[in-house]
Amino acid sequence: MKLILKIKSILTALCAVILTISILLTCSVVTHNKSLNSYYNSQIERECYKNIYIYDCNGAPIYTGGFSDDKVLRLSTFHIVGDRNKSITDSLLTSTYPNLNITSVFNGFSPTKKEYNLTIDSNLQKDAYEILSNNAYHGCIVVSDYTSGEIKAMVSTPSVDVYNTEIIEDGAFLNKASLSYPPGSVFKSVTVAAVLEKNPSAKDFKFTCSGKSNHISCFNLTAHGEQDLSDILSNSCNCGVSAFAKKYIAPDYLDLYTENSNILNSSVISDIKIKEGNINANDDLMWAANGQSQNMVTPLGVVSFYNAIANDGSQIQLRLLKTTMESNTSEIMSSTTASFLKNALAGVTQNLGINCSTFGKTGTAELDNAESHAWFVCCLNDGDAPPYTVLVFLEHGGKSSSAKEISREFINNTILSKEDSR
């Protein structure tokens, strides 16, 4: 009996040893497989990124299987191109990799070559980056052809150099052109368009500004005096715009027109995803009419709206890829309304020192506990200049005059000088 028990004990121990060895072997195989998969995935990624090619609108290389040796080009295009760590969700490198066709991992693989031809002009892109960076601004510059919707430049600062990631500034991974911010007075054109589309005779509106009306006040309590609607817009009179909106439209109508103008939509540009905008004029119609209250708009959304003004009321969806067909053209205002806005907004830019005919709008978006955001959007309205809308947004940049100065320098020294040299 003792012998039987001893044999049983030995067998039990032997089974335990066999089970332990089996578990260890299984774990080893699993660990090996995970390691093997990780190795192959890294190889696949490396080979895939080598097969992506990105060119600007003139065929100049931006990324050809690897990053450019031009540091400024890398910095200025980072938010479009991205990196190999998928840091920018909607960048070309991040969005392309999962779509590359891979054959059998174990029998060898052959990534499909993917080529992108952008609407971006890399020279404009680099100059836009340098003017923001050299002036130590966080913000963005967007340039669009208002006749085609093509984005000619889209730069966000601060940026990241993929070859030197030791020091990265806060916000460097954010594309500020695609984020939503309070628009301030650049939104006043939307309010005027909304009213004129509903009631064209409202163009005859007049208002005497004393600098303050109810809970609305003009900048520095400036009393603009007696003004017609064109003066109200070009003087950026808060009191006048508020009275104009209150007289002619209900809050729901301003919300509806703004939504129908597409500038709040994440699809205002094809090819990339951007933030939705917001408006709730029921919260405070008079401040919402001036671009404050709960208003939130992306810089790309603002560009899209001013493109429509410049294009006689016709809004063409923005696009970043030349292969994207022009689509989603919308008539968001009549040519009569667009003409009125062009003439009124020409008063904003006439003494700015830009070397061609323009119209545009400033914006100072006030914040409760931080420095204001500075906006300036300008449309080149001259047969000798390219049909561009140029927007400068300076995050916490203070007064809009800072954005105007950046715009003037960029338009005169980059856009117009390059055009003259052709």
Domains of the chain: 176-420 (3.40.710.10)
Torsion of CA 306, 183, 294, 368, to 10 degrees: -170
Bridge-based pairing of strands 114-117 and 52-55 is parallel
Q: What is the pLDDT of residue 151?
A: 98
Bridge-based pairing of strands 139-145 and 388-394 is antiparallel
Angstrom CA distances, 367 to 90, 141, 177, 275, 329, stand at 29, 21, 19, 20, 34
- How far apart are alpha carbons 253 and 256 in whole angstroms? 5
Instruction: Please name the residue ranges forming H helices in 229-356.
Output: 229-234, 238-248, 251-260, 285-288, 299-310, 335-349
Helix/strand/coil for 142? strand
Q: What is the pLDDT of residue 214?
A: 86
- How confident is residue 261, by pLDDT bands cut at 50, 70 and 90? very high
For residue range 192-219, list pLDDT tens digits in order: 999 999 999 999 999 999 999 889 999 8
- How confident is residue 41, by pLDDT bands cut at 50, 70 and 90? low
Least confident of 37-41, 228-232, 256-260: 37-41
Q: What would the mean pLDDT of 397-402 be, rounded to a whole number?
A: 91
Q: What is the pLDDT of residue 417?
A: 87
- Residue, of 104 and 274, whose pLDDT is higher: 274
- Residue, of 351 and 420, whose pLDDT is higher: 351
- How confident is residue 271, by pLDDT bands cut at 50, 70 and 90? confident
For residue range 50-91, list pLDDT tens digits in order: 889 999 999 999 999 999 999 999 999 999 999 998 899 889
Q: What percent of the chain has pLDDT over 90?
A: 73
Q: What is the pLDDT of residue 312?
A: 97
Burial class of residue 42, CB neighbours in 10 A (0-12, 13-18, 19+): exposed
Residue 359 has pLDDT above 60, yes or no: yes
Q: Which DSSP symbol is given to 88?
A: S
Residue 285 has pLDDT above 70, yes or no: yes
Q: What is the pLDDT of residue 14?
A: 61
| pTM reported for the whole predicted model | 0.88
- 38 CB-near residues (< 8 Å, 6+ apart): none
- How far apart are alpha carbons 360 and 364 in whole angstroms? 14
Residue 391's closest CA among 153, 148, 77?
A: 153
Do 271 and 328 meet the contact criterion of CB atoms below 8 Å apart? Answer: no
In the chain, how long is the greatest CA-to-CA distance? 118
Q: What would the mean pLDDT of 389-393 be, rounded to a whole number?
A: 98
Do 58 and 121 meet the contact criterion of CB atoms below 8 Å apart? Answer: yes
For residue range 292-321, list pLDDT tens digits in order: 999 999 999 999 999 999 999 999 999 999
Residue 357's closest CA among 388, 312, 334?
A: 388
For residue range 169-187, list pLDDT tens digits in order: 999 999 999 999 999 999 9
- 148 CB-near residues (< 8 Å, 6+ apart): 316, 326
Q: What is the pLDDT of residue 167?
A: 86
Q: What is the pLDDT of residue 411?
A: 97
Residue 135 has pLDDT above 50, yes or no: yes
